[in-house]
Amino acid sequence: MSGKYKVLIRSCPDYHLEQIKEIIAKGIEELGTRPFGKVLLKYNMVFAHPRMGRYAYTHPRILEAIIDLVSEFPQVKEIILGERTGVYVPSRYHFLRAGYNYLRKKPKVKVCFFDEDELVEVELKKASFHKKIKLSRTLLEADYLIYAPKLKHHVSTHLTCTLKLNIGICDRRQRLDGHDWHLEEKIADLYEVGHPDLVVVDAVVIGQQCEIFPKPLELGAIVMGTSGLAVDSVCARIIGFQPEEIKHLTIARQRGWEPSSDEKIELRSELSWEEIQQKTKNFDYSFSDLSRIDTPIRFFLGNYPGGNQPCWGGCINMLKGALAGFDAFKPGILKRARPLAMVIGEYPGDVDGKGEPILLIGNCTRILGEAKGKTIRIRGCPVAIPFFTAQVPYYLKIPSPLLGEPPKELYYFLSCLAGAYLNKFKNRGIKKLFRLKRVKLFPLPEKERR
């Protein structure tokens, strides 16, 4: 590609539908791109909750505006809403909680939950961690990819935007595989296959503190571009980081993905940089540093087994997210927590429980020195936030967020779980078997196959 990579920042003070449609329509025209064929619209839906997770997902009006515009293109056959939410929760459950269900009725729209879709294994040529990965057939067969991330701070990677959105294309097993000290490397790997043709970032209200339970900050903007790497480089600066501070962006550039430097980015913004900095000057990075959390809990971080650094993207990432969830559930609750010790990784020294239990977080955690007190292991690799949230409040002597849900939510969750497993069986069992038999018994003539 010759010339510079355009990134547009457009003023958008609220989620008024017609205003958003006008912004995106003009942006598509200015960027010189045109959706066609099967369009997959990948949104951000890691978590959705009416109180604790209202700002963790792409706003429905952003998706509605994209759908309304793209469906008018005669070259577009269908628009597929595709995503996979956090592990151990069916995507269809958070789809309902995010208020997306009405989008199903839009023209040309279909919905695909990647955790239920048939998987196809693909090889990655530039990857260093994932040499092969199984991905949704629907994703791989799409003709045009639109990514609509929510701009947020991430407790481990600093930024979650376009490239980080690709964690949501992984199935459960491979999503957790490498979600440890390899996390930044993993994100860069996935950019090879999760490479959007158009990016529309929801930056009207951006997320501070933690990516799962974010604290809102009104930025009043929509960011657009045709290069995920270019868009993320600009968005990193918006929330106070240089692109080189975001490790997965640096890795992607080193692998030859463009733009290789900020000099190749052409920024066209309706907001001055001074105005953006004024709005984000008090940006809250809470929970990115455990030592700065106002709590009597003591943290002991060791390296991963045989390594020379802590497992930032694994159990430490989970712990930060879970603690942010406790605080979102009951603000200030961590100040009243039991003053026990939490250990992650191979801690080289002694750990004194001081009369309280010592929690060993993760399968590989161990104390290389002396453990002075009773140890209790919370298993997982990494430990999943739902499992941590179900167990640890008992030891901390604080209320669990899981107990704050109305009884009807359990019914909705179980209904969605049953539906997800039935659909997964249909797509990964029956349909796959039928496809294999059809190919074997009725091979296409060579001319048609081409």
pLDDT tens track for 330-374: 999 999 999 999 999 999 999 999 999 999 999 999 999 999 999
Whether 437 has a pLDDT exceeding 70, the answer reads no
Burial of 4 (0-12, 13-18, 19+ CB in 10 A): middle
Say how far apart CA 6 and CA 264 lie, in whole Å: 9
Whether 435 has a pLDDT exceeding 90, the answer reads no
User: What three-state secondary structure class fits 322?
Assistant: helix
Q: Nearest CA to 116 among 90, 140, 154?
A: 90
Residue 402 confidence class, pLDDT cut points 50, 70, 90: confident
Average pLDDT over residues 16-38: 98
**Phi and psi (nearest 5°) for 369?**
-95, -140
User: How far from the centroid of its chain's Cα atoms is residue 303's Cα?
Assistant: 25
DSSP state of 384: P
Q: How many C-beta neighbours within 10 Å does residue 185 have?
A: 17
Whether 37 has a pLDDT exceeding 90, the answer reads yes
Alpha carbon separation from 212 to 9, 19, 150, 352 (Å, rounded): 25, 28, 11, 32
Predicted model pTM: 0.93
Whether 2 has a pLDDT exceeding 70, the answer reads no
Q: How many C-beta neighbours within 10 Å does residue 397 have?
A: 10
Q: Rounded to 5 degrees, what angle do the CA atoms 428, 130, 86 make?
A: 55
Say how far apart CA 201 and CA 364 lie, in whole Å: 38
Q: Nearest CA to 279 among 20, 8, 11?
A: 11
CATH second-level architecture of 5-280? 3-Layer(aba) Sandwich (3.40)
Whether 31 has a pLDDT exceeding 60, the answer reads yes
Q: Nearest CA to 41 among 10, 3, 73?
A: 73
| Percent of all residues in the chain with a pLDDT value above 70, rounded to a whole number | 96
Helix, strand, coil percentages, rounded to 5, for the chain: 40, 25, 40
Which residue intervals of 141-246 are DSSP H helices?
A: 172-176, 183-190, 228-238
Pair of tokens at residue 9: 């920042």
pLDDT value for 293: 95
